[in-house]
Amino acid sequence: MKVLVTGGVRSGKSAHAEGLLDGEENVTYVAPGDVPDPDHDPEWAARVAAHQLRRPASWATLETRDLAAVPSDGPLLLDSLGTWVTGVVDEAGLWDAPGSQVLEHVMALLDPFVAGVRARAGTVVLVSEEVGLGGVAEHRSGRLFADVIGTVNQRLAEVCDEVHLVVAGRVLRL
């Protein structure tokens, strides 16, 4: 089973995604966000710590943005694609580049992972942000992020068996 779980900030998407893997042993949890620095950003560190406390001891955490480094077998949970997109755009210094250039860069990194998800046996749960439900962002970076994450979500939804939209802790299977 391959599931894309999407929703807004604090919607409950991560807890739902983790619940989809209840009873699975040896889950690889891919955390593509920045490693928390409690002195620099205590709120981010607290968010990451809360996620870590919920994970079973048998789950292995892989902190990486290199999706090619993700093992090709066994149960997988990636949380979240939004932090991955932000990180790879930051690392490439592309926030001021034309949108087509940003999308080309992100897709070049994503496409091999999409192929791997398609071919993968076992449970795959991918968590992503759904940002296109409100107004258009005032700042270019917000509009660029919405465009890119929307395309990332569509690309991964194509290879998933199900897409779950989480709103206020409620799950709608699309």
The domain spanning residue 44 has which CATH number? Answer: 3.40.50.300
Domain count, the chain: 1
Q: Which of 3-17, 29-43, 66-80 bottoms out in mean pLDDT, i.e. has the lowest?
A: 29-43
Q: Who's near 69: CB < 8 A, 6+ residues apart?
A: 62
Rounded to an integer, the average pLDDT of 114-129 is 95
The overall pTM is greater than 0.85: yes
Rounded to an integer, the average pLDDT of 97-113 is 98
40 is catalytic: no
Domain span at residue 86 reads 2-173
Cα–Cα dist 26/153, whole Å = 26
Question: Is it the case that residue 34 has pLDDT exceeding 90?
Answer: no
Local structure of residue 138 (DSSP, 8 states): S
Of 51, 105, 139, 164, the catalytic one is: 51
Cα–Cα dist 172/174, whole Å = 6
Q: Which residues are annotated as a binding site?
A: 7-14, 31-33, 63, 79
pLDDT of 44 reads 77
40 CB-contact burial (10 Å; exposed 0-12 / middle 13-18 / buried 19+):
exposed
Q: Where are the beta strands (DSSP E) in 8-105?
A: 28-31, 60-63, 76-79
pLDDT of 46 reads 84
For residue 72, name the pLDDT band (cuts at 50, 70, 90): confident
Q: Which residues are annotated as a binding site for GTP?
A: 7-14, 31-33, 63, 79
Cα–Cα dist 17/80, whole Å = 11
